């Protein structure tokens, strides 16, 4: 393919605009109203999870929560386009994607609650541990896909990252490796305009990150990240391409982080509320709801049912996080090596001694 064919559109793909009106497109097709209603249900649940986690942080039940409020369409689409056997390589911000992939909310939040570094078995859900070092997981995704090809398995790997992560060297190495070895990876950048406090303009001088793809020899596309229909269409085609041997794709979603980076961050220091308000008008839930209502594909009964389902998940989440689980100190030593070492055995014995003494009251 010539590099021109690899280039994304100049304007992000959009199938449903902010007013909930459909745009026609000759390449990308919106999913059926039924499928989109299902997507809307996931959006409602996702929004509720974000709200609940925000509250749990305030109540001191979660140590930290990088919210994906406003980015829910990306969270839903990234998982919806995958088959069961495919793999997801998420970041710290992608907890909602984890839950949509079937991981119990409390297990998905083990990391952010501070109980353990990863609360689920990656093989069970085909979800890698959430990566906090930026862009490093993109290379793991590439290696995973390479192994799948060597083993003759049809696995597609979805690798998530933010716009800030694209400045890291590992982003480049991952793109290049995947393109050179023609691997079934979809790189999905959620460009939410900020890396903590640093605006996208200080991250990259490029107008679009998707254009970078051509330089590596893979197709790129940019898409409205608040438009679930467009995301499903663009990511769906990228996944199909990967599965049919067409190699990797870079997809950049233009979206916005509506809340602070985490609870530890004060976003009023680096952006004005006007900007945030402007993005609120493009909310992914509102527009899809308008669209579906306009098509009579969503009625009051369904909305009530979705809200009830979201309530239920929120309650489960709240209950699980309000339960105090005593962390097991032995875990500190148990998993460092497949077979423990004499040094670790000795250190665990000494900690056990300390713990026993403190139970005896001998140690304050």
Partner 1 sequence: MTMLQENSAKVDTGVETMSMAAALNRALADELAADDCVVVFGEDVGALGGVFRVTDGLTGQFGEKRCFDTPVAESGIVGTAVGMAMNGLRPIVEMQFDAFAYPAFEQVVSHVAKMGNRTRGAVRLPIVIRIPYAGGIGGVEHHCDSSEAYYAHTPGLTVVAPSTPQDAYSLLREAIRFPDPVVFLEPKKLYWAKGPVDTSSTAEIGKARVIREGTDATLVAYGTSVPIALEAADAAAAEGRSLQVVDLRTLSPYDDATIDAAVRSTGRAVVIAEAPGFASMASEIAARISERCFSWLEAPVRRVTGFDIPFAPPRLEHFYLPDVDRVLDAVDSLNWDS
Ligand X SMILES: Cc1ncc(C[n+]2csc(CCOP(=O)(O)OP(=O)(O)O)c2C)c(N)n1
Give me the active site residues, please: 257, 261, 270
With binding defined as CB under 6 A, does residue 162 bind ligand X?
Answer: yes
Q: Are 97 and 79 in contact (CB under 8 A)?
A: yes
With binding defined as CB under 8 A, does residue 322 bind partner 1?
Answer: no
The beta-carbon contacts of 32-39 under 8 Å, at least 24 apart in sequence, are 33/292, 33/295, 33/297, 34/297, 35/232, 36/228, 36/229, 36/288, 36/291, 36/292, 36/297, 37/292, 37/297, 37/298, 37/302, 39/76, 39/77, 39/80, 39/228, 39/229, 39/232, 39/288
Q: Which stretch binds partner 1 (CB under 8 A): 6-14, 115-123, 267-275, 302-310?
A: 115-123
How far apart CA 75 and CA 54 sit, in angstroms, is 17
Shortest Å, Cβ 123 to partner 1? 6
The residue with its CB nearest to ligand X is 162
Pair of tokens at residue 156: 């597609």
Question: Of 108, 139, 209, 233, which lies in the binding site for partner 1, with binding defined by CB under 8 A?
Answer: 139
Compose the 119-148 pattern: x for residues touching ligand X by CB under 6 A, - for all others: -------------xxx--------------
Nearer to partner 1, 277 or 343 (CB): 343
151 binds, among partner 1, ligand X, none (CB under 5 to 8 A by kind): partner 1
- 321: closest CA among 6, 4, 44, 56? 56
Instruction: Report the site for ligand X in 187-246 (rule: CB under 6 A).
Output: 192, 194-196
How many chain residues bind ligand X (CB under 6 A)? 15
Nearer to ligand X, 169 or 361 (CB): 169
Cα separations (Å) of 103 from 28, 53, 56, 97, 109?
30, 16, 19, 9, 10
Q: Which stretch binds partner 1 (CB under 8 A): 14-22, 196-204, 313-321, 342-350?
A: 342-350
Cα separations (Å) of 134 from 44, 182, 193, 342, 343?
28, 23, 16, 34, 32
- 28: closest CA among 184, 232, 182? 232
Compose the 166-205 pattern: x for residues touching partner 1 by CB under 8 A, - for all others: ---xx--xx-xx--x-------------------------
285 binds, among ligand X, partner 1, none (CB under 5 to 8 A by kind): none
Please give the residue ranges that form the binding site for partner 1 (CB under 8 A).
116-118, 121-124, 128-129, 133, 136, 138-148, 150-151, 155, 157, 169-170, 173-174, 176-177, 180, 331, 334-339, 341-344
């Amino acid at each position: 393919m010539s590099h021109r064919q690899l280039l994304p559109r100049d304007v992000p793909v959009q199938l449903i605009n902010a007013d909930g009106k459909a745009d026609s497109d000759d390449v990308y097709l919106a999913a059926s109203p039924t499928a989109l209603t299902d997507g809307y249900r996931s959006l409602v649940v996702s929004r509720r999870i974000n709200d609940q986690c925000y509250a749990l942080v305030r109540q001191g039940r979660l140590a930290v929560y990088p919210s994906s409020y406003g980015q829910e369409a990306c969270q839903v689409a990234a998982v919806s386009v995958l088959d069961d056997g495919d793999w997801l390589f998420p970041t710290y911000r992608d907890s909602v994607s984890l839950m949509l992939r079937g991981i119990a909310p409390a297990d998905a939040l083990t990391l952010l609650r501070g109980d353990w570094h990863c609360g689920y078995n990656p093989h069970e859900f085909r979800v890698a541990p959430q990566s906090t070092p930026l862009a490093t997981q993109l290379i793991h995704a590439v290696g995973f896909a390479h192994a799948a090809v060597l083993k003759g398995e049809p696995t597609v790997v979805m690798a998530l990252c933010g716009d800030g992560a694209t400045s890291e060297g590992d982003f480049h190495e991952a793109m290049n490796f995947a393109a050179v070895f023609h691997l079934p990876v979809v790189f999905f950048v959620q460009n939410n305009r900020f890396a903590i406090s640093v605006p996208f303009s200080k991250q990259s001088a490029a107008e679009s990150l998707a254009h970078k793809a051509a330089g590596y020899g893979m197709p790129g596309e940019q898409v409205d990240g608040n438009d679930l229909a467009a995301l499903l269409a663009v990511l769906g085609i990228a996944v199909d391409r990967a599965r049919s041997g067409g190699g990797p794709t870079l997809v950049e979603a233009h979206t916005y982080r509506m809340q602070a980076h985490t609870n530890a961050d004060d976003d009023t220091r680096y952006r004005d509320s006007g900007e945030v308000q402007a993005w609120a008008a493009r909310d992914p839930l509102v527009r899809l709801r308008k669209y579906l209502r306009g098509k009579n594909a969503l009625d009051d009964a369904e909305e009530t049912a979705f809200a009830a389902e979201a309530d239920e998940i929120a309650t489960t989440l709240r209950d699980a996080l309000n339960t105090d689980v005593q962390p097991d100190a032995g875990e500190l030593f148990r998993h460092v090596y497949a077979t423990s070492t004499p040094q670790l055995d000795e250190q665990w014995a000494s900690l056990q001694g300390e713990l026993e003494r403190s139970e005896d009251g001998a140690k304050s």
